Amino acid sequence: MANIIPTAFKTELLSGTHNFANGGNSFKLALYTSNPYSASSTTYSTSNEVSSSGTSYTAGGQVLDSQAVAATSTTGHVDFADETFASVTLTAAFAAIYNDTNSDKLCLVLDFGGNKTATNGDFVVQFPTANASDAIIRIA
């Protein structure tokens, strides 16, 4: 499976629902044991989310920091700081970025390509370089 960009997110971008600029909307990253989403999904889901029981993971995930919008050549893109879930014991195979400011609207589902585990340590989601070819969200 690959990353999913929900159809609703595409129209919400054009209608101004999401403000990725620094100081704009607040976005969160939630972790999942298996994928509860499809291209027709519209909002954050608790189905298959990593358990908060005994894991030190907080249901709903964490706020993404240092969001920024930029353009490289003819491509606009969004960047976030890498997200660290500190001192957790968990396994995740997927993550979802959602707009915590605007009704938990789903933006992007990330496929880790298999289970990733942290045992009483840090679980880090590294975002790709913010450029026209690699940024996590980009419009050409």
Instruction: Report the pLDDT value the prediction gives residue 118, as an integer from 0 to 100.
Output: 97
Range of the domain at 16: 7-139
Token reading at 139: 């419009």
Q: Which residues of 56-87 are buried (b: 16+ CB within 10 A; e: fewer)?
A: ebeebbbebeebebeeeeeeebbbbeebebee
Instruction: Report the pLDDT value the prediction gives residue 54, as an integer from 0 to 100.
Output: 87
Residue 20 falls within a domain, yes or no?
yes
Read off the pLDDT band of 2 (50, 70, 90).
confident
Query: Distance (Å, rounded) from C-alpha 77 to C-alpha 115?
Result: 28
Residue 51 falls within a domain, yes or no?
yes
Return left, alpha or beta for 85; rule: phi > 0 is left, psi -120 to 50 is alpha, else beta: beta
Residue 1 falls within a domain, yes or no?
no
Number of domains in the chain: 1
Q: What is the pLDDT of residues 7-61, one digit of tens each?
A: 999 999 999 999 999 999 999 999 999 999 999 999 999 999 999 998 999 999 9
Residue 2 falls within a domain, yes or no?
no
Q: What is the pLDDT of residues 71-130, one digit of tens each?
A: 988 999 999 999 999 999 999 999 999 999 999 999 999 999 999 999 999 999 999 999
